Amino acid sequence: MAAFLGRFSSMMPTFLGVASKAGSFLGRAAPMVGNALNRASVMARNPLIQAAAGRVGGQRALNVMNSIAGGASNLGSMAHQLPGAVHNVVAVGGQVYGGVRNAYGNVQQAVNSQQSGVAAASKTNIIYPVAGASSYTPGGQLVFEIPAGEKCLWLQPENTFLSFSVTVSATVGTGKTAYWHAYPWDFIRSLELYASSGSVLCEQITNYGLVHSVCRDLQSDIANVETSDSLMLGADALKYRIPAKNTLAAGSASSSFTFAMPLISVIGCLSSGGQHLPLHAMSSPLRLSLQLNTVAAAIGLSGDAADVSALTYTVTNPVLSTSMLTLSSEAQTQIDQMTGGVYQWSGTSYHTYRTTHPAQQTSNTISIPARFTSVRAIMTAIRPTAQLESSLDTCPPSTVSRTTC
């Protein structure tokens, strides 16, 4: 359709030009022809000429003369009207040409819009650990490589999350029952983010599980903490903060739970609010390294906890889900022109520092051996050494929560 309108639109000016010239010629010639025909009509009606024709040809000759007079008169009138008719044809043709030209422009614009109208396309990218192991044990490393260098590729950090399954196993005394409970972040001991093939450390959060737990407690609604958590843990109708309350029965017992959580990281929720990471501008993949926590720090026990031995866990099916944005070449070119192809990234992260506070001591000093542009907040978590280092806790499963224990 666009091609037809284009050819028609290109031919119309030639046609209208010829018609306009013809109209101009007829405008000069038609009046002269009309005047000649009118004079012929007057002569055919002249009585002397009609009398002479009657004597020569009789009534038939008179009829012919009258026909000539009427025909010449009509042709004369038509000759006078012909320039106006041609002018009207040219005018209408001009209007048609204008309409066709506008239609062609609209069609062409629609075609161009269809070709370049999609400024960006988003997709979910599932990333598996580079080691490719089937399972991971306490202290192990989950290493993910986020692809980079692809043309017009950006990372949407607010959509990054980690999912994995945990199987807890133990030996429980005869006639005894214990319960294990943990949040997904409890299994992550540290987070490290590298660039330039692992040679540049961009981010490091030690005691990651503690940081995530504190941020979640301070920023989450109490109703969500007590009863919901359905996205990461499943609802707990008893309102206990024992999210994955799985049973370890007597003997060799095991149970599993699947977790999903956002990441507190510059490639996660710390860069939400419209920030995008220019992966296309990087020469090598980003490397995310997550170290798994110890059993004692990751898992809490309740019930007959003292009768539990050989407690351990394994992590299977770890997946890093990321959201990738691919810009159109036109949009990417505009951004490159504005930035000069140089990108500066700034964000917020967390660092943790650990110290010991002796019993009965009323004050303490915590050193922060680091230099930052600014500090937005300082959070302190105080925990008994026994609770921090041991997986045993004396909370019964049906009376109080792990946190208040």
Domain annotation covers residue 320: yes
pLDDT in tens, the chain (405 residues): 545 444 555 555 565 555 555 555 555 555 565 555 555 555 655 566 556 655 555 566 555 555 655 555 555 566 555 556 655 555 555 555 555 566 556 656 655 554 444 577 878 889 999 988 889 999 999 999 999 888 888 888 888 999 999 999 999 888 888 888 888 999 999 999 998 877 889 899 988 988 888 888 777 776 666 655 555 554 444 444 444 557 787 788 888 888 889 999 988 888 866 678 888 888 889 999 999 998 988 888 888 888 888 899 999 999 999 988 888 888 888 888 888 878 877 778 888 888 888 888 888 888 888 777 788 888 888 877 755 654 433 333 333 333 333
Structure tokens at 112: 């161009």
Q: CA-CA-CA-CA torsion for 94, 96, 102, 106, nearest 10 degrees?
A: -160
97 shares a domain with 189: no
Residue 375 in 3-state DSSP?
Answer: coil
294 shares a domain with 259: yes
Q: Domain ends where: 61, 83, 116?
A: 116
Q: Which residues contact 120 (CB under 8 A, 6 or more apart)?
A: 325, 326, 327, 328, 331
46 shares a domain with 187: no
- Does residue 261 contact residue 161 with C-beta atoms inside 8 Å? yes
Domain annotation covers residue 368: no
Domain annotation covers residue 357: no
305 shares a domain with 234: yes
169 shares a domain with 26: no
Q: Domain ends where: 116, 131, 159?
A: 116
Predicted pLDDT of residue 53: 56
Distance, CA of 325 to chain centre? 6
Q: Please give the single-letter amino acid code of residue 33.
A: V
Residue 235 maps to which CATH number? 3.90.249
Q: Return the DSSP state at 99.
A: H
177 shares a domain with 323: yes
Q: Which residues contact 185 (CB under 8 A, 6 or more apart)?
A: 208, 209, 212, 213, 216, 261
Q: Which residues contact 171 (CB under 8 A, 6 or more apart)?
A: 251, 252, 253, 308, 309, 310
Domain annotation covers residue 52: yes
Q: How many domains does the chain have?
A: 2
57 shares a domain with 152: no
Nearest to 302 by CA among 315, 294, 311, 313: 311
Predicted pLDDT of residue 137: 94
Domain annotation covers residue 56: yes
Cβ count within 10 A of residue 137: 12
Q: Domain ends where: 116, 137, 157?
A: 116
Residue 335 in 3-state DSSP?
Answer: helix
219 shares a domain with 292: yes
256 shares a domain with 187: yes
- Does residue 79 contact residue 34 with C-beta atoms inside 8 Å? yes
Structure tokens at 335: 């951004």
Burial of 94 (0-12, 13-18, 19+ CB in 10 A): middle
Nearest to 241 by CA among 266, 216, 258, 260: 216
21 shares a domain with 93: yes
Which domain does 187 fall in, by range? Answer: 120-340+376-389
Q: What is the pTM of this model?
A: 0.64
What does the DSSP assignment read for 267-318?
Answer: TTGGGTTT--B-GGG-SS-EEEEEEEPPHHHH-EEEESGGGEEEEEEEEEEE
296 shares a domain with 185: yes
Domain annotation covers residue 311: yes
Domain annotation covers residue 353: no
Domain annotation covers residue 278: yes
79 shares a domain with 216: no
